[in-house]
Amino acid sequence: MIPTAKDFLGAIWPPFRHKDDALLTPYYTFHDYRQIWGMGIFILMAAALLPLLVMTLIYYQLTEQSIDREAILRTERVASNARRAVTYFLEERLAALTFTVNEMGYDRLTDPGRLKEVLSNLKLGFGGLTDLSVIADDGTQVAYAGPFNLEGKNYSTQPWFMECKQSSACVSEIYLGYRDVPHMVVAVKSLRADGRFFILRATLETERLIQTLDSYRTGEHADIFLVNHAGVLQTPSKYYTGPDQRLTLALPPYSERTQSLVASDAAKRAVVIGYAYIDTKIAATSFILMVVKERAGMMKVWLDLRHQINWFLAVSAVIITVVIILTSTFMVNKIFHADREKAKTMMLAESNAQLASIGQLAAGVAHEINNPLALINETAGYIKDLFLIEDRYKDDTEMVEHIDSIIEAVERCGTITRQLLGFARHFDVQVQPINLKRMVDDVVNFHKKEAEYRNISIHVDIPESIPLIETDRGKLQQIILNLVNNAFQAISNGCFLDIRAKMDDAQHVCLFIRDNGCGISKDHLNKIFEPFFTTKKEGKGTGLGLSITYGLVKKLSGNITVESQTGEGTTFMVRLPIRMEKEIPS
Amino acid sequence: MKVLLVDDEQKFALMLAKRLSLRGFQTDVFFAGEQALKAIDEEGRRYAVGLLDVKMPGIGGIELGRRIKALDPAMKIVFLTGHGSDMDYQVGASEADGYLPKPMKIEDLIDTLNRLKDEG
């Protein structure tokens, strides 16, 4: 069978309802199957998905932490390496100047020819040197070698000069100076023979320093630069340059060692910062080396992985959900149907028990009533006899009529009690082989005259293949007779009656008695086997025929069911065992 | 025609006996199976038909019928019972010659008796 949309809907949203639920409801073990179904799905989902989600979250956290740590360490390492390079760059130059100052002394250095020679030697050794100058202790430049003629210029107000005066050497910040080219000054102090100090000053191009720093820039959105203690950028920053060359990031706190931390930039993005306060062995500097990487960029690999994990998680969750829903639906549906069957059986059993107890009660009452009824009958009969025999009453016809009405009433009561007794017959069931076809033919023959008279066609179709049935002849005859009688009362002239039989299985035979009469309404359908239920006019029927038939069928270990459509007709189905058990409860 | 009537319902039995007598059947009434057997066995009374109530204290109607048949095979037995049935086939349940549910029409009883007289 091809599954339809309805089947599919039923598989994920089962109805748990049936037309006859109202009757069955009291017999169900569970009442809210929708709730059981929902609870089942919820519990299974929670049990299956919760550990999955928790594990994933823990995994996320651990991986994120380790990647974070790794990123910080890596940044710190880069910062550390860059610091070493910058420190080395400055120390190398300071050491060369110190060496020159100590080796040559004030007198030789102030000789312009010698100073020029020293400059060209230093240029050869390190490169990136613009000029050299010797400055006296009052700040006046006394000798100069380089492309600009700056002799006689006074530096006493320059910060680097003041700093150099205090200590033995200094490194200036990077500034544009008179020539509008970024450069920095390194200077060392030495003493002249007369005890006064002088300073040897070199101007360095920062190009090489910037190149060195750039070589440590790795990865996307990475930035490396120098900044002074006041937060002014010393070398260009790709991303964090603010107005007046100020750094847009907060300055990290002072630390002797290379450090790293996670901070956020002006746009509130998380950044990993590795930094070092740069100090050379010879002179302190105001530089802070900073390596800045955007955290998101460093986490990209992890984010990609997380994307995949999320997909995997989503797909698994969907599969688990579908499997759980289908399984729950299947299981709860099974329970529901089993419960429904049970409820049906219980309802049937209860109505059977009701019919049986009504039957027993009725039979008991009928039997007790029959004896006094018989006495009334005979007494009234005797009085009538006397009236008919004795001459003095012979002409009193009114009296005889009264007595006749007593006798008629008794007769009517007798009919009822006899039928009531049909519920609980004390006669044994006598099992004998019976030809069903012959028996049906016999019963139909009883009605032949009436059928002809009323123009009712009777059609009997009982195949020869039906075996002999071992059952009680009289009871079966009565069953068929009652059902045919019943049908004759239900149909109007010109209708038909159809009697068929077929094997239901190897052990049971089904007899169908179908008419196209007035039918039975739904309200009446489940009452028709109840005693005293009749739709006939008062006084016309006892309401016992079908309930007796029901009892008889039960006695023969069979079943009787009825199907009917108002206005279309009624079918009674009697299902009997081929071989009846001899042990029958009375 | 001599008729034996055995029923523990005394008033009913007497009333029925009177009605049968009015119709020309000479009827002996007993209220218990033992008395009837005694009359047949010891006193040697003979009847054409025995009308026996099925349910009686002491010897029941079916057992009484069997014993009467043993004593007098020629005697016809008709059961009367309050365990009524509208089904003819139940006559076959015992070896009875007839069966009448109580209360019955006197005409039916007379018909049965006449039929048995004809057969006998």
Q: Calculate the average pLDDT of chain A.
A: 84
Q: Tell me the C-alpha distance between A532 and A523, whole Å.
A: 16
A379 closest CB neighbour out of B15, B82, B104: B15
Shortest distance between the Cα of B17 and any Cα of chain A, in A, equals: 10
Tens-place pLDDT, residues A399-431: 888 899 999 899 888 877 876 766 555 344 567
Q: What homologous superfamily is domain A65-298 in, according to CATH?
A: PAS domain (3.30.450.20)
Q: How confident is the model at residue A356 (pLDDT cuts 50, 70, 90)?
A: low
Higher pLDDT, A3 or A347: A347
Confidence label for B83 from pLDDT (cuts 50, 70 and 90): low
Cβ <8 Å between A474 and B9? no
Least CB–CB distance from B19: residue in A381, A410, A421: A381
Find the DSSP H helices in A390-472.
397-421, 436-446, 448-454
| Digit-coded pLDDT (tens) for A432-465 | 788 888 888 877 877 777 788 888 888 999 988 8
Q: Which residues of A touch B86 (CB under 8 A)?
A: 415, 418-419, 422
Residue B91 lies in a domain: yes
Q: What is the pLDDT of residue A359?
A: 66
Q: What pLDDT is stored for residue A581 in this prediction?
A: 67
* Contact check, Cβ <8 Å, A377/B103: yes
Share of chain A above pLDDT 70, in %: 91
**A531, A543 in Cβ contact below 8 A?**
yes
Q: How many domains does chain B fold into?
A: 1
More confident residue, A390 or B4: B4
Residue A378 has pLDDT above 90, yes or no: yes
Residues of B with CB below 8 A from A426's CB? 83
Q: Say if residue B118's pLDDT is above 60.
A: yes
User: Residue A309: CB partners within 8 Å, gap ≥ 6?
Assistant: A56, A59, A60
Q: What is the reported pLDDT for A423?
A: 53
Distances (CA, A) of A360 to A345, A354, A413, A498, A586: 22, 10, 18, 34, 11
CA distance B72 to A187: 163
Give A425-586's CATH code, choosing from 3.40.50.620, 3.10.450.50, 3.30.565.10, 3.20.20.80.
3.30.565.10
| Confidence at B91, pLDDT banded by 50, 70, 90 | very low
Residue B117 lies in a domain: no
- Chain B positions touching A478 (Cβ under 8 A) are 87, 89
Among A16-25, A127-136, A216-225, name the one with the lowest average pLDDT: A16-25
**What integer pLDDT is reported at residue A319 of this predicted model?**
94
Judge whether B79 lies within some domain.
yes
Closest-CA distance of chain B to residue A407, Å = 9
**Per-residue pLDDT tens digits for A469-519:** 888 877 888 888 888 888 888 788 778 889 999 988 888 999 999 988 888
CATH number at residue B51: 3.40.50.2300
Q: Given pLDDT bands bounded at 50, 70 and 90, which one contains residue A586?
A: very low
Segment A523-566, tens digit of pLDDT = 888 778 876 677 766 555 566 678 778 888 888 888 999 988 88
B77 falls within a domain = yes
Report residue B88's pLDDT band, with 50, 70 and 90 as the boundaries: very low
- Asked whether the predicted pLDDT for residue B87 surpasses 50, the reply is no
pLDDT at A341 over 70: yes
Cβ burial A289-298 (10 Å sphere, 16+ → b, else e): bbbbbbbebb
pLDDT class of A287 with cuts at 50, 70, 90 = very high
pLDDT at A584: 43
Does pLDDT of A186 surpass 50? yes
DSSP 8-state symbol, A586: -
Which pLDDT belongs to residue A537? 60
User: Nearest-CA residue of chain B relative to A390?
Assistant: B22
Give A 355-394 residues with CB within 8 A of chain B.
Answer: 366-367, 370-371, 373-379, 381-382, 385, 389
Of A410, A411, A474, the CB nearest to B89: A474
Give me the residue spans of the domains in chain A: 65-298, 425-586
User: Does residue B114 belong to any structural domain of this protein?
Assistant: no
**Could you list the residue range(s) of the whole structural domain that residue B39 is in?**
2-108
Q: How far apart are CA B89 and CA A327, in angstroms?
A: 59
Coil/strand/helix, residue A326: helix
Of B9, B22, B87, the CB nearest to A385: B22
Across the interface, which of B9, B84, B105 has its CB nearest the CB of A418? B84
Beta bridge partner(s), residue A261? A273
Looking at residue A365, its pLDDT comes to 80
Q: What is the SS3 assignment for chain B?
A: CEEEEECCCHHHHHHHHHHHHHCCCEEEEECCHHHHHHHHHCCCCCCCEEEEECCCCCCCHHHHHHHHHHHCCCCEEEEEECCCCCCHHHHHHCCCCEEEECCCCHHHHHHHHHHHHHHC
Would you say residue A277 has pLDDT above 90? yes
Residue A19 has a pLDDT of 60
Pairing verdict, β A284-294 and A469-472: unpaired
pLDDT band of residue A573 (cuts 50, 70, 90) is: very high
pLDDT band of residue A314 (cuts 50, 70, 90) is very high
- The lowest-confidence range among A284-298, A357-371, A496-510 is A357-371
- Is the Cβ–Cβ distance between A479 and A553 less than 8 Å? yes
**How many helices and strands, by DSSP H and E, does chain A display?**
14, 16
Query: Do the chains contact at A419 and B9, CB–CB below 8 Å?
Result: no
pLDDT at A79 over 90: yes
pTM of the predicted model, to two decimals?
0.49
Q: Is A584 on the interface with B (CB under 8 A)?
A: no
Q: Residue A284 corresponds to which amino acid?
A: A
Q: Is the pLDDT of residue B115 over 60?
A: yes
A552 touches chain B (CB under 8 A): no
Q: Round to whole Å and give the CA distance between A550 and A574.
A: 10
- Say yes or no: B21 contacts chain A, CB-CB below 8 A: no
How would DSSP label each residue in A341-390? HHHHHHHHHHHHHHHHHHHHHHHHHHHHHHHHHHHHHHHHHHHHHHHHHS
Q: Identify the pLDDT of residue A43.
A: 94
pLDDT score of A140 more than 60: yes
